[in-house]
Amino acid sequence: MGGAVVKKGRIYEGKAKVVYETDDPSTVIIEFKDDATAFDGKKRGTIGGKGEACAAITARAFEYLESCGIATHYRGWISRREIAARRVRILPVEAVVRNVVAGSLAKRLGLEEGLSLREPVFETYYKSDELGDPMVNDYHILALGLATREEIAVIERMSLEINRHLTEFFDKAGLRLVDFKLEFGVADGDILLADEISPDTCRLWDKESLTKLDKDRFRRDLGGVEEAYQEVVRRVELAHGMAR
């Protein structure tokens, strides 16, 4: 674990993370919480060890993506539940990439969950807790001033490229990357992958049994939530080593 920055005041606290400023104006510390929410905050709970699991998986995934040429905000894993990151302005557009039918896509299109898609599906959502993060298209994004046409194009290109790399990353750990959510930030005119990569933001199934090893276990009251997060950590550590 690295990083010599000193944590200072709290900038922001969300449902799953707390962001702190540091003595370096260009760097923040992100602390991952054990708190869990679903269905736009209507369901709340605590997943023991989730903060540490998400921090560890995020650190390793971001290091892997950086090695693949993806620009991210990641600057180091500094404690069991904290990473250092470049300070960015988060774009209010969430990107979702889907490889397999699951969740809202199954309901929306009347498709069977688990059906492999012929091509990855790229979707965008307006990042707004108050509105429940509604799906939007390019026209909505441009009309609302959420991002420029150029930023939309970069987000789509990066998301699909990240999908290719993350599919390989999790495949080596015996996991099927079903779908996932990404957030992007801007710093000095550059668009960087931000937020996290974890079972909180990715649907991950065992490649053979298709057992769910992600937040769906919490959403759907499937039990074994803590064990699922720890299993993902264990597999990532075996496949890639951890970012210590």
Per the prediction, the chain carries an average pLDDT of 95
Residues 109 and 181 placed together within one structural domain of the fold: yes
Domain count, the chain: 2
Residues 211 and 94 placed together within one structural domain of the fold: yes
Tell which of 71, 88, 105 closes a domain: 88
Q: pLDDT at position 69, please? A: 98
d(CA 215, CA 237): 19
Q: Containing H/E element for 21?
A: strand 17-22
d(CA 235, CA 207): 12
Rg, C-alpha atoms of the chain: 17
Q: Could you tell me the CATH number of the domain that includes residue 24?
A: 3.30.200.20
- Written as one string, the DSSP assignment of 150-167 is HHHHHHHHHHHHHHHHHH
Q: pLDDT at position 41, please? A: 67
Q: pLDDT at position 39, please? A: 75
Tell me, what DSSP letter sits at residue 69? Answer: T
Residues 64 and 128 placed together within one structural domain of the fold: no
Residues 213 and 170 placed together within one structural domain of the fold: yes
Q: Does any domain span residue 232?
A: no
Helix (H, G, I), strand (E, B) or coil at 7: strand
- Please report, for the chain, how many H helices and E strands are present, in that order: 6, 14
Residue 8: phi and psi, rounded to 5, are -125, -135
The string of pLDDT tens digits covering residues 183-198 is 999 999 999 999 999 9
Q: List the 74-79 sheet strands across, edge first.
A: 7-13, 17-22, 27-32, 82-86, 74-79
Q: What is the four-CA torsion angle of 172, 177, 181, 182, rounded to 10 degrees?
A: 30
Q: pLDDT at position 1, please? A: 43
Please identify every stretch of the chain with a pLDDT value under 70, giving residue numbers as ranges. 1-3, 40-41, 242-244
Residues 59 and 99 placed together within one structural domain of the fold: no
Rounded-to-5 percentages of helix, strand, coil across the chain: 30, 35, 35
Q: Does any domain span residue 183?
A: yes
Range of the domain at 203: 90-223
Q: pLDDT at position 5, please? A: 86
In one letter, which amino acid is 16?
A
User: Which residue bears the tokens 């702190």?
Assistant: 20
pTM: 0.94
Tell me, what DSSP letter sits at residue 27? Answer: E
